Amino acid sequence: MALFKRFGTVLAGTALMATAAFAASHMDPAAEKAVKARQSHMTLYAFNIGTLGGMAQDKMPYDAEAAGRAAENLAALASLDQAGYWVEGTDAGSIEGTKAKAEIWSDMPEFEEHIEQLATATTALAENAGTDLDSLKASFGDVGKACGSCHEEFRVSDK
């Protein structure tokens, strides 16, 4: 996939100054915006997954329209180009206020593969979530796996 083919341009444009000794409050404004954007993106994933997960786990009644809308939102979000988000020097070891592991940058192809996996899983969910609860449940697992495996590998654990 070509998500990051212009990554060099992004890097060159941000005049990165963020280091461990030069953290959050002194972060380069462009880097700060990138971190905020990627976190906002995650918030929107969580917001829509909350609806779908509540139904998948029988914690709220199944609503075909609401499920379909949330799943389509997820698929649209997963399709957004993320080239601007992953500015080098914005990992958890370099700045405050992020859980992004340095492995995102040291193993970008693997990271991109996880993003692609989420796009595939959410597209399938968008096709099925509005049909009936069983269809939603059948597709929801792969979305959860895509989230979980990426977090496991590329997000600093809270524990």
- Which residues line the annotated binding site for heme c? 147, 150-151
How far is Cα 121 from Cα 140, in angstroms, rounded to an integer? 8
Amino acid at 18: A
Closest separation in Å from C-beta 18 to a second copy: 17
Cβ proximity to a second copy: between 65 and 158 the closer is 65
Cβ proximity to a second copy: between 16 and 60 the closer is 60
Closest separation in Å from C-beta 60 to a second copy: 7
Let me know: does 66 contact 51? Beta carbons within 8 Å.
yes
Closest separation in Å from C-beta 65 to a second copy: 6
Cβ proximity to a second copy: between 41 and 155 the closer is 41
In order of 42, 50, 84, 108, 112, the CA distances from 7 in angstroms are 20, 32, 8, 11, 12
